[in-house]
Each structure stands twice: as structure tokens, then as C-alpha cells.
């Protein structure tokens, strides 16, 4: 069931077009991510959903009703800020209760709802502490609790984990997903971190220059990117440009790189081919030959860069464990044609 429908939304700031006819649907109970580089329009779209910006054109519907007609404080939407914005002089429970008190709910109901959400986030024992007595991960949980205690239909998260270090961020990614499943609220997260989006979201919308490049589940987005931008932005990829033939993509000065060519694909025109580093195999046989120029070990996997004559950039290969080759070695690279993806 669709909860939010964004239809042809455009937003300009002077000569800059932040959003250019963006359309997308977000399902009830979905964890939806807006992913893209800085300046792509993702935060502007989030602010439109929250009510802090108005589009120049287009519509936004919540359950089929016009969301844009409601002021921010009347929308069943809550926004969790990147900075958490906790009140430093208030205890954890007072921070969480603040929004409910502003709505003048009965004190008994406030106490019950705050206690329930503290148990959900695992901080019942820290109810009397102030924010400066908590770790970064705990403060993030309090900010999340303050947002969900009001039981919004839609919770917006703007770069929610960017202030945390890598280990805590990984832990909180698991925690966010657990909480979202438990409370059943639709989450929309804005991030430029691909790993974060891939680990959290049910579906991801990739934005670029104010437009939507692709909307898909994480696995589909990674395995079958539809555009060159998506292939290059989401994870590591090797991109080759050439001419489409019956057997693959003919790259000048390199040769024909094999891939599965759709029967209805028009050959003879320009084409881009994407091959993930983990789909390339180092060995004594293969389509490409080159020289190892660098190798790096990342604990469990190694990244090997191979210079191939005719290509401007080295080809990146991902291998399990320590690198099986050393710098300066002459190698060949092969892959299964089905693992090479034609992108638009």
C-alpha cells in the first residue's frame, strides 16, 4: 500500500534547480532511502516532505490527500535532525516527553509512552541522565525515541548516523532497522553513504542533479544498475565505453569485452559496460591482460589494480584473502558474460 506519492516535484533556488520533476512512491511501513552526492536534491526533497520547503510545482500526497496543504506542525510527519538537537539541561525522559507535553497530552499517557519507548531503545536505566552523560550512540537513540514517541505516520532522518564513528555506526544501522521493524513506522532516510543505504533500506532512490536515476531494492540496484551514474556511484565498478556488437562491447584499443546482449538491442551504437571488481578473476587466461600496479589488503579481501594497455584507468579486482599476485606481475582478467552489465 502506498503511503506517500511524490508527483513531478520541482524546486528551484534562483538559477539552481534542486529538484527537477521528481516522482516516486513510498510504501506503508517501508524503510526508504534517498541516496546521492552532495547537491543532488535529496535534502530538499526531505524538507518538502517535512513542510520546511514548498515545491515550485508538483504534488505530494499522503494516503491520497494533499500533504502540501498542511503546515509542518499539522503533518503526521516527524524529522530527526543530523545534530540530534537534544536539550542539554533536560534528562533523557524529559527530552523524549517534550513533544508530548507540548501537545498537552495527559501526564499518565506521557509517562506510559515515554517508558515504552525507553524500553524499545534499551535505555530504561538512563532515563534520569542528561545528554552529556551519554555516548554518541545513546544520544542517537534518544533523538530517535523523541521522534517515534509521537507516533508519526512518516519519520524522516537526515544523515542520522554521520556523527558516529565507524564501529558505533555499524551497530546503530542494525539498531535502526530493528526499531523500524518493531514500531512499524515508515522511515525515509537521507544519506550519501552507499553502505548505509544498502544495509538499511528496503528500497533506494538514487538522485543526481535533481533527478531520479533509479529506484530499486539494494541487491537489484547493485547487481543491475540502469545508468552509468548509478553503476559508478553505488559501490566500486569498472566502467568501459565502446560500441555494442553481437558479442559484447568493442572498446577501442582493447578488443571486444563479452557480455549478454539483449536480442532487441541495437548494435553498432555507443555502449557502456560495468563489471564489479568481485566478478573479475585473476588467472592465466582471460579477455584482458595487464600489469599489477597496486594491491591493498582490507582484512578478508584484497583490492588489486591492474593497468591494461588502451585503458586510461587501472582495472580494479577484488580477491578473497591476501592478494594472490604481487606488484609488477603480468596477469590476465576474465569474467562470466552474465556478470557484465550494459548500462544506459
Residues 59-71: pLDDT tens digits? 999 999 999 999 9
Our separate counts of H helices and E strands in the chain read 8, 20
Q: At what angle do helices 166-183 and 136-148 cross, to 10 degrees?
A: 20
**Per-residue pLDDT tens over the stretch 292-335:** 999 999 888 999 999 999 999 999 999 999 988 999 999 999 99
Spatial CA neighbour of 132 closest among 176, 90, 174: 90
SS3 category, 294: strand
Spatial CA neighbour of 190 closest among 10, 43, 79, 78: 43
- Low pLDDT (below 50) residues in the chain: none
Burial (CB < 10 A; 0-12, 13-18, 19+), residue 225, is: buried
- Residues in Cβ contact with 187 at an 8 Å cutoff, skipping those fewer than 6 apart: 30, 31, 32, 155, 157, 176, 180
User: What is the C-alpha separation between 323 and 310, in angstroms, rounded?
Assistant: 24
User: What is the C-alpha separation between 213 and 232, in angstroms, rounded?
Assistant: 12
Position 329 scores a pLDDT of 94
Position 163 scores a pLDDT of 65
User: What is the C-alpha separation between 336 and 330, in angstroms, rounded?
Assistant: 21
User: What is the C-alpha separation between 309 and 288, in angstroms, rounded?
Assistant: 9
CA atoms within 13 A on the CB side of 286: 18
Within a 10 A sphere around the Cβ of 14, how many other Cβ atoms?
5
Q: For the chain, how many residues are written? A: 344
Residue 44 bridge partners (DSSP):
none
Domains of the chain in sequence order? 2-223 (3.40.50.300), 237-343 (2.40.50.140)
Position 225 scores a pLDDT of 96
Does the global pTM surpass 0.85?
Answer: yes
Rg (the chain; Cα; Å): 24
Amino acid at each position: 500500500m502506498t503511503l506517500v506519492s511524490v508527483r513531478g516535484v520541482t524546486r528551484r533556488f534562483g538559477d539552481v534547480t534542486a529538484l527537477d520533476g521528481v516522482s516516486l512512491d513510498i510504501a506503508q511501513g517501508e524503510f526508504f532511502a534517498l541516496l546521492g552526492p552532495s547537491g543532488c536534491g535529496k535534502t530538499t526533497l526531505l524538507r518538502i516532505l517535512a513542510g520546511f520547503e514548498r515545491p515550485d510545482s508538483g504534488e505530494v500526497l499522503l494516503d491520497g490527500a494533499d500533504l502540501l496543504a498542511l503546515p509542518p506542525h499539522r503533518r503526521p510527519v516527524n524529522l530527526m535532525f543530523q545534530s540530534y538537537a537534544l536539550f542539554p539541561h533536560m534528562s533523557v525522559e524529559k527530552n523524549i516527553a517534550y513533544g508530548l507535553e507540548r501537545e498537552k497530552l495527559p501526564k499518565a499517557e506521557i509517562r506510559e509512552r515515554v517508558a515504552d519507548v525507553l524500553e524499545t531503545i534499551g535505555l530504561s536505566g538512563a532515563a534520569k541522565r542528561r545528554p552529556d552523560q551519554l555516548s554518541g550512540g545513546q544520544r542517537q537513540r534518544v533523538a530517535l525515541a523523541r521522534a517515534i514517541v509521537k507516533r508519526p505516520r512518516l519519520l524522516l532522518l537526515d544523515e542520522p548516523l554521520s556523527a558516529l564513528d565507524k564501529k558505533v555506526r555499524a551497530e546503530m544501522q542494525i539498531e535502526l532497522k530493528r526499531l523500524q521493524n518493531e514500531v512499524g513506522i515508515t522511515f525515509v532516510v537521507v544519506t550519501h553513504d552507499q553502505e548505509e543505504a544498502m544495509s538499511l533500506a528496503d528500497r533506494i532512490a538514487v538522485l543526481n542533479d535533481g533527478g531520479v536515476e533509479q529506484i530499486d531494492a539494494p541487491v537489484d540496484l547493485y547487481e543491475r544498475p540502469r545508468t552509468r551514474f548509478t553503476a559508478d556511484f553505488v559501490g566500486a565498478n569498472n566502467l568501459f565505453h565502446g560500441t555494442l556488437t553481437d558479442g559484447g562491447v568493442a572498446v577501442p584499443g582493447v578488443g571486444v569485452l563479452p557480455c549478454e546482449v539483449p536480442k532487441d538491442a541495437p548494435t553498432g551504437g555507443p555502449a557502456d559496460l560495468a563489471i564489479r571488481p568481485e566478478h573479475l578473476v585473476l588467472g592465466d587466461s582471460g579477455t584482458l591482460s595487464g600489469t599489477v600496479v597496486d594491491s591493498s589488503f582490507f582484512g578478508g579481501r584484497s583490492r588489486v589494480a591492474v593497468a591494461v594497455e588502451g585503458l586510461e584507468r587501472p582495472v580494479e579486482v577484488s580477491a578473497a584473502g591476501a592478494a594472490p599476485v604481487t606488484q609488477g606481475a603480468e596477469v590476465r582478467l576474465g569474467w562470466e558474460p552474465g556478470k557484465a552489465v550494459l548500462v544506459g
